[in-house]
A and B are shown apart, each in its own frame.
Chain A
Amino acid sequence: MAGNRLFVRRRDGRIEVRLNDAGRSFVRGVFAQVVTAEREPDHQWHASLHSPIDPSIDADNPLSTLSRQSETTTNAELALVCVDEQFLTNAEAWAWLTSLQVALRSVAVSNGVLSDERLAEINADVRGEIETLQLLLFSLAECL
């Protein structure tokens, strides 16, 4: 990834993506994982994508869970198809942000990172993945 600012808001309203090949490859893999995790119950991120809406009842409203599944997949698929674009519209940037944030939370949940103490204990690989996602999210949030 190049420079400090990975995303820059331009005067014409579009958001410039300043990721190098390695950076784009990383986010491509992340978006693809979100799409796969939503579809495959055995994926390690699947559970974090299906947390309860109303914990006081045994099963959530199927229409709400279907809506969540559909919107999550739509965002990740949109992010995936514009992953090589140099400039993003606001809608595309929102799809990137939500998909990266879903991935960040999924990495944390699937590795049991539910507290600051646990975050301090995780191995270097997971920490690196979390910090890379946070870096991308920080920069993208500045533009939105």
Chain B
Amino acid sequence: MGAVKPMPRTTTDSEVVTSEEVLTKRPWNVVVWNDPVTPMSVVVVIFRKIFGYSNNKCTQLMMAVHHEGRAIVWSGARERAESYCVKLQVAGLQATIEHAD
């Protein structure tokens, strides 16, 4: 019998990446501000068209703008927040973005 060479042992080094550092990304808010001239029904139509929210949600957001002076209408990544803010401004609403607390 010939000498039996040992099979090369293959090892699988499984690396478990443990990240002790948890990266938290604060979202960006799109804020719509109240003004004394814009009809309420127009605000509802604009929210529905831009965000696709239900009538109920659009009405709730519009009432929040009306009573509290401002309302956060969307939160998420900065690029999308900026894009939504531009769409709201193009539709004639006063909108800004801000970093969430």
Contacts and interface: CB of A to CB of B under 8 A. Distances in A.
B36 interface: yes
Interface in B28-55: 35-39, 41-42, 44-46, 49
Interface secondary structure of A, over-half rule: helix
A113 B82 CA distance: 26
B97 to A, nearest CB: 5
Interface residues of A, number: 37
A127 to B, nearest CB: 10
Nearest to A61: B82
Contacts of A102: 90-92
Contacts of A56: 98-99
A134 B39 contact: yes
A61 B87 CA distance: 15
A101 B98 CA distance: 24
User: Interface residue tally of chain B, by bracket?
Assistant: 20 to 34
A119 B97 CA distance: 27
Nearest to A68: B86
A141 B45 contact: yes
Contacts of B75: none
A64 interface: yes
Interface string A37-79: 0000000000000011111100001001001100110010000
B70 to A, nearest CB: 12
Contacts of B94: 51, 105
B96 interface: yes
Contacts of B97: 53-54
Contacts of B45: 97, 141, 144
11 contacts: A56-B98, A64-B82, A68-B86, A72-B90, A101-B91, A105-B92, A105-B94, A108-B37, A114-B35, A141-B41, A141-B45
Given A54-B97, A68-B86, A97-B46, 9 more contacts: A55-B96, A56-B99, A61-B82, A71-B86, A94-B49, A97-B42, A101-B42, A101-B92, A141-B39
